[in-house]
Amino acid sequence: MKITNKTNLPKPIEDMAKSEYSYTPKRYSVTSLLKSTRQLLLTRRHNNEIEQDCADMIWMLFGQAVHKVLEEKGEGAELCKEEKLTVVLDTGYTISGILDLYNLDTGEVTDYKTASIWKVMFKDYSDWEKQGMMYAWLLHKNGFPCNKAVFYAILKDWSKAEAKRKHDYPQQSVVRVEFDVNDESLAEIDRFINEKMDEVIANENAPDDQLPMCSEEDRWNSGNTYAVMKKGRKTAMRVLNSKEKALEWREENGGDYIEERKGEDKRCKDYCACCEFCSYWQETYKTEDKGE
Ligand code: SF4
C-alpha cells in the first residue's frame, strides 16, 4: 500500500502506517474473509497501487496501539496472547488468525476492538460474531476448547454527558459483547469458511470487472426510498421506505407521481480502499468523487 502524509503528521505515525502487511499466496486471514470476495481480491491484487493517507488511518493506528499496550500486560499460565493459529483446508489453502487473548481454563477467546458508539447503539455485531466463530473454529481445529467469543469494544466517540442524558446510551466507554460457541455455530462457520474459500479460489484469476458483485449489504447500501412528488414542486411531499407505503400515502394525501431514489453505497463511497479498481465504483461514483 502506498502511504501518503498530506497533513505532515509526525514521522512515527507515518512509519506505523507504513508497516507493511504482505500477502502470502494460498493463505487468507479470517478477518479478510469478512470482506466480500470482490473487495478481498481487489485489495490483494492492487495492494501496491492502493494509496491511503496516514491521517485517514488514524483510528486503525489507534487500534494497533491499544493492542500493543494490552499485549505487554497481564501474562498468566492459562493465558495466551497474540497467538497465531492456522488451519489447512482440503483445497491446500491456509486460513490464519491471530488471537488477542485466549484463556485455556475458561475456553474464552477475547478480541479488543476500537469502535464507534453507533456500533453499540445499533447492536450491529454480525461481523464480530462471524469473526469470533472463526477464532473458535481455528482453536477447535487445533485441538483447543472454546465455548465463548468475547469482544471488548473501546468506544472512541463515547460521551459522558450523553451517558447521563440517555438511558439507552452505553454507561461506560468500554462494552463487553459475547457470543456462545456450540456445535451448531461451529458447523455453520465451517460451512461459511469452505464456501467462501471456494468462491475466492474460483475467482482468483478472474479479471477485475468479472469478480462477483458485492451485495447491497456488502456495499452498506442505505436502501432505496420512494418520494411522493407533486408536479411543479421540486421537493418531495413525503419520502417513504417502500413503494407500497408511498402509493398508500399518495392515495390518502394526494400527489402526482412516485420517484424512486437509489440508496447510497456508504462503503463504496467512503470506506473501500480498493474502490478505484472496482468497475462498479468507476461506473457509479468516479465522476462524483472527482467533483465533476
Ligand atoms: S467499491 Fe463497493 S462494490 Fe466495489 S469492491 Fe468496494 S464495496 Fe464492493
H or E segment at 194?
helix 183-203
Confidence at residue 21, expressed as pLDDT on a 0 to 100 scale = 67
CA of 41 to the centre of ligand 1 (A): 11
Q: Whose CA is nearest to atom 2 of ligand 1?
A: 268
Domain ranges of the chain: 2-207, 225-289
Backbone phi, then psi, for 214, in 5-degree steps? Answer: -70, 140
| Fold (CATH) for 2-207 | Lambda Exonuclease; Chain A (3.90.320)
DSSP structure string for 54-72: GGGGHHHHHHHHHHHHHHT
Residues with CB under 6 A from ligand 1: 36, 38-39, 42, 214, 218-219, 265, 267-268, 272, 274-275, 278, 280-281
CA of 183 to the centre of ligand 1 (A): 33
CA of 70 to the centre of ligand 1 (A): 33
Confidence at residue 290, expressed as pLDDT on a 0 to 100 scale = 46
Per-residue pLDDT tens over the stretch 21-69: 678 999 999 999 999 999 999 999 999 999 989 898 888 888 888 877 7
Q: Which atom of ligand 1 is nearest to the CA of 281?
A: 1
Q: Which atom of ligand 1 is nearest to the CA of 42?
A: 5
Confidence at residue 74, expressed as pLDDT on a 0 to 100 scale = 60
Q: Whose CA is nearest to atom 8 of ligand 1?
A: 214
Helix (H, G, I), strand (E, B) or coil at 209: helix
Distance (Å, whole) CA 214 – CA 230 = 35
Q: Whose CA is nearest to atom 3 of ligand 1?
A: 214
Pocket test for ligand 1, best of 42, 275, 289 (most atoms within 8 A of CB): 275
Query: pLDDT per position in the chain (292 positions), as tens?
Result: 889 999 999 998 888 888 766 789 999 999 999 999 999 999 999 999 999 898 988 888 888 888 777 777 766 556 677 678 999 999 999 999 999 889 989 999 999 999 999 999 999 999 999 999 999 999 999 999 999 999 999 999 999 999 999 989 999 999 999 999 999 999 999 999 999 999 999 999 999 999 999 999 999 999 999 999 999 999 999 999 999 999 999 999 999 999 999 999 999 999 999 999 999 999 999 887 544 4
